[in-house]
Amino acid sequence: MSGRVALPDGATIVVIGGGPAGSFFAIRALRKAREHGRRLDLLILEKEQELNFYESACPFASRGGCNYCAGGISPKLAEVLREDGLALPDGIVQGRTDRIVVHGDWKSIELTVPEGKEVLSVFRGSRPNKRLERYTNFDSYLLSRAVDEGARVITAEAREAHFSADGRALIGYRVADGERVRDETVGADLAVFAGGVNQQMGKEAGSGRLFQMVEELIPDYRPPKVRQALISEMQGEEDDLRYMAGELHFAQYGSKDLRIEMSSLIPKERWMTVVLLGKSVDEARPTEYLEIVKGFLGLPHIRRLLPGEVNLKPVCLCHPNMTVGMARNPFGHRTAVIGDMAVSRLYKDGILSAYTTANALADCIFSSGVDRGSLKMFYRPTVADLHGDNRFGKMVFFVTREVFSRPILSRIFYQSLLTERKNRPRQKRRLEGVLWKISSGDDTYRHIFAETLRPRTAWLIFAGGVLVTIRNYLTERLFGLEWGDFGRYPTGVPLEEVEKKRREIMTVLGLEPFTGQPEFERMYSIRMKADEKAVFRQLGKFGDEDRKYFKPRFVNVHRTVGGPNEVGSTVRYDVLLSRLSFNVVLEKVVAGRYLLYRVQGGFPRGGVLTFDIDRSRPGGGFLTIYVAFNFPTSRNPLKRLGWYLFKLAFPGYVHDVIWNHSLCELKHVAELDQE
Ligand SMILES: Cc1cc2nc3c(=O)[nH]c(=O)nc-3n(C[C@H](O)[C@H](O)[C@H](O)COP(=O)(O)OP(=O)(O)OC[C@H]3O[C@@H](n4cnc5c(N)ncnc54)[C@H](O)[C@@H]3O)c2cc1C
């Protein structure tokens, strides 16, 4: 069995497994064969039964079952699918993500999906069962595209493998034809194993029949290391999850009792796919799985994500294996192993690595051959490269887990990212770029790791994170701001959105634009799961003694004239130095939407304070606060100098710290105040 063995014209290739790896390989191999003017008989054996939906308008045969996957399609995968003419049709796409939310013990960080990038979600199989359109799913779609290219698909389980006397691989498979079963054998010039690692869920990958078959053909093959995950499909009522549409959540921590290292929540219309990995999952008995999922959804940082009273029911729950290592010798004479059975990108993008290994194999067999030497030379490097990259991935995930699961580190990182967001345009934000790549899988772990080591990254974290956090912490202490029994949320607005929102507020409220940039300008925004009436009611308490927010030490804020949200009502800010005290007068109200206060007296006189409730989604929206004023000046040179020095010394960050804290409190009370 030595020497180069080319794939003959009219060769038969048997692919065991019609998941992504099997379909991607079939598509590429059949296209290559056409390019090279070669005939190819490509047979895919897929053990999942075909579904029959007599009334469905589905143009292709659909596979049943489930491939135990969250169905997240990374930007890279979406891109290569488009380039290969395999762009996912609308029916297959369950969700288009516009925001990835990374949860940290201090605060969550929202990352908007950059223009031109796509993050999608799909169902891999027909589950969850109650789905109306369960015949449309990702694996069936890919398989149908393989059939379009000329693949034959047989619903059968591969059960045996050995070499024939002339060195071809013989694959025995069982076809279930209703009640009857029949065993058949097919000879292959190349056997491709793409059966994944979930033949026996929860057991070491190598213990199943499929792996024994591989070892029959490649005696020194050893399966990759796997780790157990928990995956659950949760179902809500019709509109329950609409509030979360377009979001994708990642959290790398649980609690002291629920040790979670990696988790994702992907809302898909009425469903939400929850994936968990961590020590608590590793050590759990099957009877504990449901409790783990429920416990996870009940954790404060997760509970806060879910809209109000939503009651999610787990309709599917399983504990599949996830590939976390690399198989030894995933190639042999006329035999190769692809997809999860060979290697997978660590914790992200397994489908993309299935694509990568499948394509590398298809390229290799046409450019070189199907003998062990050719596969070692031209196929193995791709598998080894993915594995090598995963080593960096381990370090990246270790660091991010440590950072996001600790309040202090998480606060520092959050702060540095926010500082950068407020000061630099999106395309120049390094920290946001790195976090985007980690969470979306948009770059190799190698590159991500290298970027985190750059001195510039360390500087951004030190100057924008460590120093600013110390300063903010001291400010909170000074003004008596305690983080009580309510969540902490980001309120910073990225530079590019400030401009847009300012224009909107000015236009709607008929405000005279400032000449030039106001000398002091701040915008804060917070997402609320409360309707506008509740938010408006709470805003009406601005200045009331019994309000539950905006009560910093040293600043006595109280209404002196009028009632809640009443035009002409006046709220007084008394500060230590009476010369700095001022009034804000409610000048305009657009019910349920905008409040415009004008500043009278004090240093910010003539300035504005506006509240804007933008209810962009059912069940919630954003409350945005906009503050702008110019510092006073005077004809008297001494006074002018005095105001100038005051402007230089004015601690704008105190305003940020107080309003961030107040908005988190306000969100909390408004959400409790739903009618
Ligand atoms: C909990 C979890 C969540 C994940 N989430 C994501 C995600 O969001 N995004 C992402 O990109 N990746 C994700 N992955 C990884 C991804 O699922 C895998 O990397 C990917 O499915 C690998 O594809 P594959 O074709 O190698 O194997 P599989 O998808 O497992 O497909 C194997 C196919 O072979 C068939 N088969 C098996 N044995 C036989 C046999 N003896 N005869 C015939 N057919 C057989 C099976 O029925 C199946 O259809 C996740 C994995 C897990 C465990």
pLDDT at 56: 44
pLDDT at 307: 66
Question: Alpha-carbon distance 168 to 189, whole Å?
Answer: 6
Q: Reduced to 3 DSSP states, what percent helix, strand and coil does the chain have, rounded to the nearest 5?
A: 35, 25, 35
Measured between alpha carbons, how far is residue 451 from residues 195, 389, 442, 444, 455 in Å? 36, 14, 13, 11, 9
Question: Alpha-carbon distance 552 to 582, whole Å?
Answer: 16
Dump the DSSP string for 156-180: EEEEEEEE-TTS-EEEEEEEEETTE
Find how far residue 668's CA is from the centre of its chain: 25
pLDDT at 244: 83
Phi, psi values for residue 453, rounded to 5°: -85, -10
> How many CB atoms within 10 Å of residue 566?
13
Q: How far is the CA of 76 from the centre of ligand 1 (A)?
A: 18
Q: How far is the CA of 123 from the centre of ligand 1 (A)?
A: 12
**CB 191 near ligand 1, within 6 Å:** no
Question: Alpha-carbon distance 145 to 30, whole Å?
Answer: 11
Q: How far is the CA of 88 from the centre of ligand 1 (A)?
A: 18
The closest residue, in CA terms, to atom 26 on ligand 1 is 339
pLDDT at 59: 45
pLDDT at 53: 43
Evaluate whether 358 touches 145 at the Cβ level (below 8 Å): no
The closest residue, in CA terms, to atom 52 on ligand 1 is 69
**CB 620 near ligand 1, within 6 Å:** no
Closest ligand 1 atom number to CA of residue 156 = 43
Closest CA to 41 of 192, 151, 194, 142: 151
Q: Which of 215, 340, 353 to mutate to test the pocket of ligand 1 (most atoms within 8 A of CB)?
A: 340
Closest ligand 1 atom number to CA of residue 320 = 53
pLDDT at 484: 83
Question: Alpha-carbon distance 356 to 334, whole Å?
Answer: 20
Dump the DSSP string for 36-84: TT--EEEEEEE-SPEE--TT---SS-EE-S------EE-HHHHHHHHHT
**CB 231 near ligand 1, within 6 Å:** yes
Residue 68 identity (one-letter amino acid):
Y
Closest CA to 310 of 403, 236, 230: 236
438: phi > 0 → left, psi -120 to 50 → alpha, else beta; which? alpha
Dump the DSSP string for 93-118: EEEEESEEEEE-SS--EEEEPPTT--
Beta strands in 509-581 (DSSP E): 520-528, 556-561, 570-574
Q: How far is the CA of 141 from the centre of ligand 1 (A)?
A: 15
The closest residue, in CA terms, to atom 19 on ligand 1 is 350
Q: What is the largest CA-CA distance in the chain?
A: 105
The closest residue, in CA terms, to atom 31 on ligand 1 is 19
**CB 95 near ligand 1, within 6 Å:** no
Q: What angle do CA 120, 122, 126 make, to 5 degrees?
A: 175
Query: CB neighbours of 473 closer than 8 A, spacing ≥ 6?
Result: none
The closest residue, in CA terms, to atom 49 on ligand 1 is 19
Closest CA to 244 of 299, 300, 312: 312
The model carries a pTM of 0.89
Pairing of strands 247-251, 99-103: parallel
**CB 171 near ligand 1, within 6 Å:** no
Residue 31 identity (one-letter amino acid):
R
Question: Alpha-carbon distance 46 to 22, whole Å?
Answer: 9
Q: How far is the CA of 38 from the centre of ligand 1 (A)?
A: 30
Which ranges of 269-379 does DSSP label H, i.e. alpha helix?
279-282, 289-297, 300-303, 350-367, 372-378
Q: Tell me the average confidence (pLDDT) per consecutive run of 10 residues in the chain, 675 residues long.
A: 85 96 98 96 88 45 71 95 95 89 91 93 77 77 93 94 95 87 96 93 78 96 95 82 86 94 90 94 92 92 77 86 96 97 95 98 97 97 98 96 94 94 89 94 95 94 97 96 88 86 86 80 90 92 94 94 96 90 95 92 93 75 93 93 94 95 95 77
What is the crossing angle of helices 430-440 and 407-423, to 10°?
120
* Residue 512, burial from CB neighbour count under 10 angstroms (0-12, 13-18, 19+): exposed
Long-range contacts of 605-612 (CB under 8 A, 24+ apart): 605/629, 605/632, 606/630, 607/518, 607/520, 608/511, 609/584, 610/505, 610/509, 611/539, 612/501, 612/504, 612/505
**CB 224 near ligand 1, within 6 Å:** no
The closest residue, in CA terms, to atom 45 on ligand 1 is 17
Sheet containing strand 594-600, strands side by side: 520-528, 620-629, 608-617, 594-600, 582-590, 570-574, 556-561
Q: For tokens 């007296």, what's the residue?
A: 601
Q: How far is the CA of 427 from the centre of ligand 1 (A)?
A: 35
